[in-house]
Structure 1
Amino acid sequence: MAADRFLSTLKYVAGTKPTFNLSEIAAYLDEPRTVGQMYEALQPHLHGLGLTANKTGEDYTISRLMPSPAYILSTSEEKRLNAYLSLDTMPSFLEAAIEQYISRKTGKEWSDSIILERLRRAIVAQKDDYWKPTGKRSLQYTKGYSVLGYLAYHFPVYFMQARHLFAQLARDGLLKQQMTILDLGTGPGVMPLAIEDFWMCLDSARSTVLSVERSKEHIEAFEALTRSVAIQDPQVKIESPKEADITLPRDIPLPENVDLMIFSNVLNELAGLPVAERADIVMSYGEKLAPDGMLLIIEPAEEATSTGLRVLALALKKRGLSIYAPCTFIWGTNCTPDRCWSFQTASSIRPTRIMNSLAGCNEQFRYVNSDIKYSYVILRKDGKVRTSCQIPKNTKALRLSKIHMNVGKRITVVAAKMSEDIGDADTHLYRLCDGSAEKPVYAVLPAFHIVPSNRELGSVPYGTVLELRNVLVRYNPVHDAYNLLVSRNTAIRMLGQGDPGQ
């Protein structure tokens, strides 16, 4: 009896009966097996199949797992979360663990001048590689000092920005009392460690974190860091990574009914593959999602990478996933994402001790990485979206796809705010999107025109849907984009809920 045949038979029976005896499976099998033998084969896969097994005499009663309830934050947890998000440093024990790992791997103190210089070279090499044309980038981060340089330069920012993403999931009620989380391309374990850290803000939520990583060096760092911060009876159980290439999903044994899958700063490393191939890879993993499961894809905020994420997200939407956030398709149309540079920001972090030591040279700007800027998309299987905006019946709003026909006119639009302020103190500038625009559209608000009726443009969070009444359309030939000029006579009001707490 092949294991995969047995499990597929079990899945079939479970799909037709909510409860059954394990002995019933024997009738479907080519080779006779005892109940004990079948249970031994089933036991490691129970949770992944969404099943439970209870011993009943000489048999086992198999039942479908009830979906874990949503985790709703209490008032005390909200207060705790606000304090947590205000922190600007990694936990001291994790910073020390990274320092100790670098010292152990190099055989010298991490602060030794030779080690610091080698780390500098590794960081510069990684950054230079990142800025090469797509087809010429390697972006391996997988051997020797490239892994140590990643720990010193990239890890702290990626760890800290994860807090804001998990806070969004928690506040939106997307976390569950009990979760199975899969981190694909985990590297040295940034996301599993960030999950463990964040879940300590929650009173009773628990999760099991599985991960996949192809690099032995990263897996070694992963194991060392997770061991160094392990606590007894953790809310988060972090499993050892599976050593595998994430571009070959069919070759990786994965659980069923995963609640959350994460691709953190990894899909951009596959930029040499056509978008369709990358989308196919993601969709192969998506088959393992629970019916109400979700995908979280995070990428750097750099323009080409951020835009590439939007193109990939639209390809996944066309394959049947729904974009939960941050995009809102107000008119029910698909967007034109090839020029959609949209990213989230948060307060900068305090440089680590390693960063400060690396910066003790003539080019200190190269070695301090403290800005929190990231692009992300949350996709779901069940069609759920974060903001379902209905335009008020009395609103004669213009689709942004028609904006080119209204240059020089005053119009009303309904669109999501898709950037923080990217202007300056004199002229505030915000990206707008309604899911129909063919060219970039920006709201332009001169500082001397700010009044109570339009002030909300600057204060509402990223992703909020707004109605902007009486804005003047201008074309910007330098950037081949359109500006909506906001004046004292413009009225702006919120129609949709944006990202909370940002």
Structure 2
Amino acid sequence: MAGNPLISTIQYVAGTRSSFLLSEIIRYLDAPMTVDEIYRAIAPELPRLGLAATRRGGDVEINRLLPGDGGRGRTSTFLEKRELPPVLATAIEEYITKKVGKPWDDPVTAERLRKAITAQKDDYWKPLHKRSLRYTKGYSVLGYLAYHFPVYFMQTEHLLLRLFEEGFLKKSMTILDAGTGPGVVPLAIADFFSRLDGVKASVYAIEQSEEHIEAFLSLRDAFVPRGGPVSVKPPKQADIRDPLPAGLPERFDLIVFSNVLGELADRSGDPRAGIVGRFAERLSPDGAILIIEPADEINSTRMRTLAAGLEPAGLVVHSPCPLFRGTACKAPRCWSFATAPAIRPTRLMETLARCDEPYRYINTDIKYSYAVLRRAAIPRDGLRLSSAAKFLQLSKLHLHVGKRVNTMVAKMSGELGDAKTRLFKVCDGTAKAPVYAVLPAFHKTAENEALLSAGYGTVLELRGVLVRYNRAHDAWNLLVNRNTEVREPDRHGE
């Protein structure tokens, strides 16, 4: 049955959504079948696929057997604390002490960490081809642990929750972190999965730096329980630009590139698409690739262009980009990023901040750009639009300048404006130039407040927005006023 096209279709749909009706997949089949015929054909395979079926009138609802929902509540409680797990914070302090031979809070140690952090930050803002960012030896690794590690760890926890809610996390997973550094992603996975019910995972990693691997193993041994549900394997020492090293599984359910692709400066060309494409050859049929980059404009826009251009490698963007138009977005000048509540500074950060310029050594803001890619371009959440849907495509805005229109978009940024004028990037996958929803504060009403409260990636109907063109920035503005209605669409309608 593994090669059965019907089973493959069911797997793909189940990989994108945790619940769906069998009637919804008929359109994906080469040969017409009724709901009952589909059900009889797939029923014996449902347990193996981790799926369950429930009769709903004349239809059948298929539900993915996700890790228990209790894990969502426990994760929410953890994220509300906004702090690095104390055991891990202590492990970082102890590792620094071990490496330098002096207490982590010794004045000499603290000053050397400050210099390493300052050098890394200064280097980051150089032009890409002039950077020497490597974080691979000595105090550069320790500075990374002190300044970058806590916020990246918590950022990964937020992203794992997004993957959980989108149905990507299964009860048994094989995961690969490419360019793992000191193990931010594997350690966050181990922590996140520890709050889920009845799950297990094997996490593999690739890293070229011996210093990072040493830190990885030290933190892993202090933080990840032996014999627990997550097995974090020692990293394979290799450069992600080279062929995958021996000894890795043939298939992965999740492959992660976290803050690594953007650091690959190459005067002879851009190697990133080739790297992702090569790793994608090891992706399971219903697996996903997660790419994460910083939220600054250069890295964010480069990542969007990369993700949109991976179609030749057989990959499509699943989220956060909108799919309801069924088009392949080309990411025109797309600067889009998510945010989360700032974390609390660690004791190590607070120690380093006891100086003349304390702000230089406190890193607590969570802002990131990400893309989830997979092999199947199947709409999320049951939301589909027919060609006759009465919502204007953003690619047609130039025909309606100065007019009020109805359109459907995904909210693709946090707040970009100020208290007087609220501003958010929006997209439907068809725009040829950036589009922004603009809400003057004095026009805020209960009917349009959803523009402010909706989360990143949420699909919204904008009814009665005024189309304006911003010539100075070659961008489009959708003006929301007190007569505009903003709401989430029905999930199973046109």
Under TM normalisation by the shorter chain, which class is it? 0.7 to 0.9
CA distance in 2, matches of 1:84, 1:187: 24
Deviation (angstroms), 1:392:
6.5
How is 1:138-287 mapped onto 2 (pairs within 5 angstroms)?
138-272=132-266, 277-287=271-281
Q: Which moved more, 1:94-103 or 1:392-401?
A: 392-401
1:312 pairs, out of 306, 326, 345, with 306
How many angstroms apart in 1 are the aligned matches of 2:458 and 2:201?
A: 30
Taking the aligned partners of 2:268 and 2:410, their CA distance within structure 1 comes to: 29
Q: Distance in 2 between matches of 1:423 and 1:490?
A: 19
Distance (Å, rounded) in 2 between the aligned partners of 1:496 and 1:226: 45
Please say if residues 342 and 418 of structure 1, whose CA atoms lie closer than 8 Å, have aligned partners that are also in contact: yes
Query: Which residue pairs with 1:298 in the alignment?
Result: 292
Give yes or no for contact 2:256–2:290 (8 Å, CA) kept in 1.
yes
Q: Percent identity?
A: 53
Indicate whether 1:436 and 2:430 are aligned: yes
Q: Secondary structure at the match of 1:478?
A: helix
Aligned to 1:142, the other structure's residue is in SS state coil
Give the secondary-structure state (helix, strand or coil) at the position aligned to 2:463.
strand
Q: Are the counterparts in 2 of residues 325 and 385 from structure 1 also a CA contact under 8 Å?
A: no
Q: 1:107 aligns with which of 101, 106, 130?
A: 101
CA distance 1:278–1:158, change in 2 (3 Å): same
Deviation at 1:280, TM superposition (A): 1.5
Q: Please tell me whether residue 466 in structure 1 is matched to residue 444 in structure 2.
A: no
Q: CA deviation at 1:71?
A: 4.7
SS at match of 1:156: helix
Q: In the alignment, does 2:476 pair up with 1:482?
A: yes
CA distance change for structure 1 residues 163 and 105 in 2, over 3 Å: closer, same or farther? same
- On the 8 A contact 1:342/1:419 being kept in 2, the answer is yes
How many angstroms does 1:456 deviate by?
Answer: 1.1
Q: Secondary structure at the match of 1:202?
A: coil
Q: Of 340, 348, 353, which aligns to 1:346? A: 340
Aligned-residue CA RMSD (Å)? 2.2
Q: Which runs of 5+ in 1 are unaligned?
A: 1-13, 17-64, 498-502
User: For 2:318 and 2:379, how far apart are their aligned partners in 1?
Assistant: 4
Counterpart check, 1:76 vs 2:76 = no
Q: What residue number does 1:450 align with? A: 444
Q: Could you tell me how far 1:256 is from its partner in structure 2?
A: 1.1
More off after superposition, 343-352 vs 432-441: 432-441
Structure 1 window deviating more from structure 2 (179-188 vs 314-323): it is 314-323
- 1:150 Cα deviation after fit: 0.4
Query: 1:419 & 1:323 partners in 2: Cα distance?
Result: 17
Q: CA deviation at 1:457?
A: 1.0
Separation (CA, whole Å) in 2 of partners of 1:270 and 1:253: 25
> Aligned partners of 1:359 and 1:75: how far apart in 2?
40
2:130 maps to a residue whose letter is K
Aligned to 1:28: none
* Paired residue secondary structure (2:328): coil
Q: Are the structure 2 counterparts of residues 492 and 318 from structure 1 closer, same or farther at C-alpha, using a change threshold of 3 Å?
A: farther
Distance in 2 between residues matched to 1:332 and 1:393, nearest whole Å: 10
Q: Secondary structure at the match of 2:81?
A: coil
CA–CA separation in structure 1 for the residues paired with 2:333 and 2:312: 18
1:271 CA displacement: 4.0
Number of equivalences: 436
Separation of aligned partners in 1, 2:388 and 2:447: 19
TM-score, length of structure 1 as denominator length = 0.82
> What SS does the aligned partner of 1:462 have?
coil
Change (3 A) 1:378 1:95: same
Greater mean alpha carbon deviation, residues 270-279 or residues 418-427: 270-279
Within 2, Cα distance between the matches of 1:452 and 1:108? 58
Is the partner of 2:472 in helix, strand or coil?
Answer: coil
